[in-house]
Structure 1
Amino acid sequence: MKNRFTKVLAKASALIALCLVLVSAPVLAQEEDSRFSMDVTLNSDIFFGFYPFFAGSYSLSEKTAFTFYGILWSGGNNDAGLGGGAWGNWTEFGVGMNFDVADGININPQIGLLSGSLTSGLGTPVLGEGIVPNLTIGLDKAKTEGEIYIGYYHGFDHGNPSTNNYLHYWANAGYKLSPFFSAGLHLEQLRYTGGNNAPSDAAYDFYVALGPYVQFADPNGGAFARFTSGADLRSDAQLTKSGYRQPSFFKLTVGYSF
């Protein structure tokens, strides 16, 4: 009798344990899913051409997250003379850490690996042609939004004595006029800073653009679209030195936040 009772108890305990596993599995899966997020955007830029972009994160704690990103650069505007020709299917992939430093404010330092032929100055694409240390600071509050990005593109010597380095940054800030619509100002600059065998005074700007943006977004999160425009603020001396004229700036972005 005792053995039978023990066996029944063991079976009942196993059944209860199995039920607990089955019930808790979806909850654990949901908790795991809630730690991961990703934004995917399609961008059309007057200078860089068409390029998809993705940025993902995996939460490590309440205020920190591991981040990764990638940019599938197109050929862009080769008339600008970046690298002296085609960009070699230019690709950027990086990782970093995100820190929530205050309510609605986060800081995300990352480092990216470049592959292609732009910063290395080669005529053929190469893996690991350069690196991109970069920093993004984001603002997302009930009524205000904004972002600051700065990245330094440093080319490695892969056999070509002349490499190319670039500084790219932007800053924007806007006001959420409704949960659906926001608008603000956007400043962006792309600067050639020299490289191996470049003269000391080689630096010049490809563009310095300032103008408004408008954004439409799903109030519940998910899809969004942004149009950015602006005028070139470069001086006549910078226009002459760069040999590249771009009187206006515009960018269209459509994306989804998962």
Structure 2
Amino acid sequence: MLAGYSLLTYSNEAAAQEEKEFNFSATLNSDQFFGFYPTFAGSYGFSDKASFTFYGILWSGGTGGGWGNWTEFGVGANFTATEGLDINPQIGILGGNLLSSGTAGPAVFGDGIVPNLTVNLNKAKTEGQLYFGYYAPLRDETFADGTTLAYIHYWVNFGFKASDFFSIGAHYEHLINSGGSNVATSTDVYQWLGPYVQFADPKGGPFARFSFGTDLVEGNDSFFKLTTGFSF
């Protein structure tokens, strides 16, 4: 659940790729569902149109601490479709016990596998991101009456750059418990919708984004997400 993460912060990657082959960003994230979770993302360019990418999410900083020190690491490739539009398929692997046993069993390497796709938009006046990831159990460490879990996580955001320093837009994010070994239990975990504001160094580097709004799932109230980071 690359959570917003914005997660993967490739906002400066397209421009930086022209100057150097290796790029790296680190972010600190917090929201009311996952808690606090640092992330990192990097790339190594082979050409002006393609690069190798890698990422990691240290879920254990928040809720993931109760999920067997949940940790995600993945690799993939980034392709520039046109100027300011990048497509980044990746595949990740998890350590922990959330998917393999619903937190009931031991923490294991290979708790789950995460095929995911990120599409980044970074134009002169607009910005945006589409993310889709499927969190599937890779091992079964359940007891006789236990169950494995699986999740679908996706979001889309789009904004306008009011200046080189400030941008504003909208964020929609949806997390679905798709049931794992019991698909009949598929439920909406949260469904967030609201605005965001972002402040960023025009030269690239540090940035801060705050998203907030309503949760459309019945019984939930609202959401908030704060992300800050630095691109090298």
TM-score normalised over the length of structure 2: 0.87
| Structure 1 residue 45, shift from structure 2 partner | 1.1
| Structure 1 residue 86, shift from structure 2 partner | 2.5
1:202 match: 185
Say if 2:227 is the partner of 1:253: yes
Inter-partner Cα distance in structure 2 for 1:94 and 1:163: 21
Amino acid at match of 1:143: K
1:87 match: 67
Please tell me whether the aligned partners of residues 156 and 163 of structure 1 are also in contact (alpha carbons under 8 angstroms): no
The structure 1 segments of at least 4 consecutive aligned residues displaced by more than 6 Å after TM superposition are none
2:40 match: 54
Say if 2:51 is the partner of 1:65: yes
Matches within 5 A, 1:171-250: 171-196=156-181, 198=182, 200-234=183-217, 239=218, 245-250=219-224
Q: Give the total of aligned pairs.
A: 211
1:11 match: none
Structure 1 unaligned segments of length 5 or more: list them: 1-30, 79-84, 240-244
Inter-partner Cα distance in structure 2 for 1:251 and 1:151: 19
For residue 36 of structure 2, give the secondary structure of its aligned residue in structure 1. strand
Structure having the higher helix fraction is: 1
Q: After alignment, is 149-158 or 131-140 more displaced?
A: 149-158
Higher Rg of the two aligned structures: 1
TM-score normalised over the length of structure 1: 0.78
Alignment root-mean-square deviation, CA: 1.9
Structure having the higher strand fraction is: 2
Structure 2 unaligned segments of length 5 or more: list them: 1-16
Inter-partner Cα distance in structure 2 for 1:124 and 1:86: 11
1:45 match: 31
Inter-partner Cα distance in structure 2 for 1:34 and 1:224: 20
Please tell me whether the aligned partners of residues 44 and 252 of structure 1 are also in contact (alpha carbons under 8 angstroms): yes
| Structure 1 residue 74, shift from structure 2 partner | 2.6
1:36 match: 22
1:26 match: none
